[in-house]
Chains A and B, each alone.
Chain A
């Protein structure tokens, strides 16, 4: 019986994992996967087109796929291919997410679609949007929800337009079908064109039609160099033996399409990569899979030759994007949580063991995701708000697993999986703003401090949240469960105490290290900056809990309520201080954060109020022992 049960769980887990990995296979003759591994330099980093496509679509639609008017679901890279190579098609895809179209005052927009709009849907309103945008509050932080929506649409359209022109000049079907011809004709008239300009300046006779054509190219490419978003042309190495010092590295400047075309006028060779991209588009448009795949291979080969290290990293990043370890972990955390919840009702030990191993698996996948991001970015794991969310969850699950290993009662595991789940969901929502592997500002650019101060502080958050979650479990069980006796209460309160010790230690050491870093970089050990204050508040909160316990000022219940208060303090330190938008640390501002922050705080306060109910409303044997004690002290003579 047990074996069947284990097999069932194993199969379920396996199917979750395989579904995750296989979710984006395409069976087209075009080698889409290879294409999605093509390198570009954007945001200061070399990354695969796949990441660009995903992030762009994420910003525009808040998801990583889109649905064509025919109703087929297509991946972000497929969307990106259509955007660049078949814009006439992509313009009909509904990818602009507009949450409240009726509030915009754009007449007739609401009737067209719900929530998602295509470029063509929006086209009639361009002028209106432009005017609305120009009248907005100039300081982004002060905008209200309506104004933010306008800005979002406006910026979305700009992003769309800039992405559209990433691989080559864009235009109607005729131009896209003859890109190679265009480049050739441009290259062939450059010398004559430059000559004609000279002649014109000297007042000599020149070929007017040729000059006009040449200038038209120049203007067009100049505009392109300003708008094209991606830098797809790597710097060339082959003939630069003279300049050995300027060896290529990840920080060498790449060029966008427009710049590359303009630089041909300076006598530089037109990069073969540019021609390959033109070939790709033409092949794709004429449904020639073979030519397409050849073009992709050619670009890969030259990249591999010049940037061997970056090449494998870029490939890995593409694979990592598709694997989505955090999404997988989320599912497994939920799964583990349910198993544990059921284990309290039935099949205790069997389910408990299974859930433990499931949680361990989820944790390992979570860990893998963290390490993979470190490899891609070449940085310690926490570099921005997104990665801090990933790490807080990781740390809490780590501690929770440890507790579960010792106590084996499912509570540590359940709370750990809950925090793991919640923080990864938060991370998922923080990822909406684009690339989560962005570059570090100079003042933060110190792997030593990132690896010590930031990690330790963030681990302190993990511990505080775990202590708070265990405390919530304590209050709820003591209120409701008939099985929650004195022993269970003692062991749970010991857990909370131990974890709080951990939290206090880590927060204190982390804050101290932060002080030293601040002293090193700003000349102030302590500056009363909001983020510093937040960290200090956690330390003090920890100190309050510990002193209250040592002094016997609070009993179990009081300590639990303080630990839940610790949740609010930690959330404030982590997110709240960023909402203020002041101080040296306010690098990661989030918009709707305020609402969620408030909701979270209210939720915690609600549990605290529950915990303050008089003992007679509590159902557990633990609470009963308390009421008896009170009775005894009230009527001492009866005993």
Chain B
């Protein structure tokens, strides 16, 4: 056998890769204390290489923070395992009755690795919050932001032009699709704090010049202090930007300060361009759905005399955009609603039990893990069952 093929199909490589994955998972669990689940997942499991460093917050963090440990990331290990498995099956394995269990396990594993990759790439998670008695046709994610121009001239329907925040790079100019306008990002902060500029500022702290000249800053003099992005589980980053809008004649229409904290609580920031006017905002990324969810009733029951909940449930109508009821459903713990390629889970609640919050997941590959684990489970039961029976026979004859 060719030595390269031999290397890639060897059991030794399997054991090494499995050991590396053990190390990766261990550190990928530890670092969740520092960076939260989302960020750690990206760094460790959706990457090719990752460097762990001794956390500052751990005992003796000051003295030991020079300790760094590079290791292969999830994509690298997973990919190598996949190659290893395929190579092994191509060279060493022969499909025999005795080994059919192993085959099942390995095919299941291949499917699982692929489905995990697929989930990373195509699945979308967001949250929808609905008040009792009202409805919603969108969900949003606090992990991502978008810059929007909203055209409210049609009373039936708003027209939203959205630009993902990943395209807002300092100094870059982008054309806003379906309009004659373009925008230039003067500055962008993934996280920041917004404060009213001190009124009678003493000269000791030099006042930063106000870059924006339109919108909210015309009434309140807001100052932006950039902050490091936060990764804790429920941390919300205040994405903030200075956006200049330029019309088709290359004329600057003004610069706006937009931020996801400048939300519905404030009057909308208006952009007037020729005979059209838009609302502009930087907000959490929204996903619009071709149907509405109306919350009829949210229930939150606790065990008597305790704060321990035993039930959260939301009774909802699903309505088409015209308001006709398509379906009625009860969403509760361990019982999600699957509709229109999306799955709605009871995730949280707010506003004194008046508001229900759903986790909305779009994962076209959701069935794959089920198939793969079925294969693996069956294979394992078969393989070890055979071992076990043989073992029992042997010990009986002894």
Residue positions of A touching B, CB distance < 8 A: 41-45, 231, 251-254, 406-407, 438-443, 445-446, 449, 498, 501-502, 504-505, 508-509, 512, 515-517, 519-530, 533-534, 536-537, 540-541, 543-544, 547-548, 550-551, 553, 569, 572, 577, 580-583
Taking a contact as CB atoms under 8 Å apart, the answer to whether B311 and A442 are in contact is yes
With known contacts A508-B380, A530-B32, A523–B359 Cβ distance under 8 A: yes
Residue positions of B touching A, CB distance < 8 A: 10-12, 14-15, 18-19, 21-22, 25-26, 28-30, 32-33, 36-37, 40-41, 44-45, 115-116, 119, 125, 233, 302-306, 308-312, 333-336, 343, 345, 347, 359-361, 363, 366, 369-370, 373, 376-377, 380-381, 384, 387-388, 391, 395
Taking a contact as CB atoms under 8 Å apart, the answer to whether A533 and B304 are in contact is no
| In the complex, chain A residues whose CB is within 8 Å of the CB of B334 | 443, 445-446, 449, 517, 520-521
Taking a contact as CB atoms under 8 Å apart, the answer to whether A42 and B32 are in contact is no
Q: How far is the CB of A426 from chain B (nearest CB, A)?
A: 22
> Which chain A residue lies CB-closest to B300?
A442
Taking a contact as CB atoms under 8 Å apart, the answer to whether A501 and B369 are in contact is no
> Which chain B residue lies CB-closest to A543?
B18
- Bound-state Cα–Cα, A519 to B335, Å: 10
> Which chain B residue lies CB-closest to A582?
B32
User: Which of A252, A517, A548 contacts B304 (CB under 8 A)?
Assistant: A252
| In the complex, chain B residues whose CB is within 8 Å of the CB of A449 | 334
With known contacts A523-B125, A526-B369, A580-B33, A251–B303 Cβ distance under 8 A: yes
| In the complex, chain A residues whose CB is within 8 Å of the CB of B377 | 508-509, 512
| In the complex, chain B residues whose CB is within 8 Å of the CB of A583 | 32, 37
User: What 7 A-B pairs have minimum CB-CB distances, sorted nearest first?
Assistant: A44-B303, A551-B11, A523-B361, A512-B373, A44-B306, A533-B29, A442-B309
Taking a contact as CB atoms under 8 Å apart, the answer to whether A551 and B15 are in contact is yes
Q: How far is the CB of A446 from chain B (nearest CB, A)?
A: 5
Taking a contact as CB atoms under 8 Å apart, the answer to whether A553 and B32 are in contact is no
Which one of A251, A441, A505 has the highest number of Cβ atoms from chain B below 10 Å of its Cβ? A505
Q: How far is the CB of A459 from chain B (nearest CB, A)?
A: 14
- Bound-state Cα–Cα, A540 to B37, Å: 21
| In the complex, chain B residues whose CB is within 8 Å of the CB of A569 | 22
Taking a contact as CB atoms under 8 Å apart, the answer to whether B304 and A528 are in contact is no
| In the complex, chain B residues whose CB is within 8 Å of the CB of A509 | 377, 380
| In the complex, chain A residues whose CB is within 8 Å of the CB of B345 | 521-523
> What are some 20 contacts across the A-B interface (CB < 8 A)?
A42-B305, A44-B303, A44-B306, A44-B308, A439-B303, A441-B309, A441-B310, A519-B366, A522-B359, A523-B336, A523-B343, A528-B44, A533-B25, A533-B26, A540-B18, A551-B10, A580-B32, A582-B36, A582-B37, A583-B37
Taking a contact as CB atoms under 8 Å apart, the answer to whether B310 and A439 are in contact is yes
User: Which of A512, A517, A520, A525 contacts B376 (CB under 8 A)?
Assistant: A512
**Could you tell me the dominant secondary structure of chain A's interface residues?**
helix
- Bound-state Cα–Cα, A330 to B303, Å: 34
| In the complex, chain B residues whose CB is within 8 Å of the CB of A548 | 15
Given contact pairs A516-B370, A536-B25, enumerate 8 new A-B contacts (beta carbons under 8 Å). A253-B304, A254-B304, A515-B373, A524-B125, A544-B22, A551-B11, A551-B15, A581-B33
User: Which of B11, B15, B336, B373 contacts A521 (CB under 8 A)?
Assistant: B336
Taking a contact as CB atoms under 8 Å apart, the answer to whether A540 and B303 are in contact is no
Taking a contact as CB atoms under 8 Å apart, the answer to whether A441 and B308 are in contact is yes
Taking a contact as CB atoms under 8 Å apart, the answer to whether A553 and B15 are in contact is yes
| In the complex, chain B residues whose CB is within 8 Å of the CB of A254 | 304-305
> Which chain A residue lies CB-closest to B370?
A516
| In the complex, chain A residues whose CB is within 8 Å of the CB of B302 | 44
| In the complex, chain A residues whose CB is within 8 Å of the CB of B22 | 537, 540-541, 544, 569
Taking a contact as CB atoms under 8 Å apart, the answer to whether B310 and A442 are in contact is yes
| In the complex, chain B residues whose CB is within 8 Å of the CB of A251 | 303-304
Q: How far is the CB of A507 from chain B (nearest CB, A)?
A: 10
Taking a contact as CB atoms under 8 Å apart, the answer to whether B303 and A45 are in contact is yes
| In the complex, chain B residues whose CB is within 8 Å of the CB of A536 | 25
| In the complex, chain B residues whose CB is within 8 Å of the CB of A580 | 29-30, 32-33
User: Which of B41, B119, B306 contacts A43 (CB under 8 A)?
Assistant: B306
> Which chain A residue lies CB-closest to B32?
A582
Q: How far is the CB of A384 from chain B (nearest CB, A)?
A: 12
> Which chain A residue lies CB-closest to B380?
A505
| In the complex, chain B residues whose CB is within 8 Å of the CB of A446 | 333-334
Taking a contact as CB atoms under 8 Å apart, the answer to whether B32 and A445 are in contact is no
Q: How far is the CB of A544 from chain B (nearest CB, A)?
A: 5
- Bound-state Cα–Cα, A449 to B333, Å: 12
- Bound-state Cα–Cα, A635 to B37, Å: 57
> Which chain B residue lies CB-closest to A446?
B334
Taking a contact as CB atoms under 8 Å apart, the answer to whether A508 and B305 are in contact is no
> Which chain B residue lies CB-closest to A526?
B116
| In the complex, chain B residues whose CB is within 8 Å of the CB of A406 | 395
> Which chain A residue lies CB-closest to B20?
A540
| In the complex, chain B residues whose CB is within 8 Å of the CB of A529 | 37
Q: How far is the CB of B122 from chain A (nearest CB, A)?
A: 13
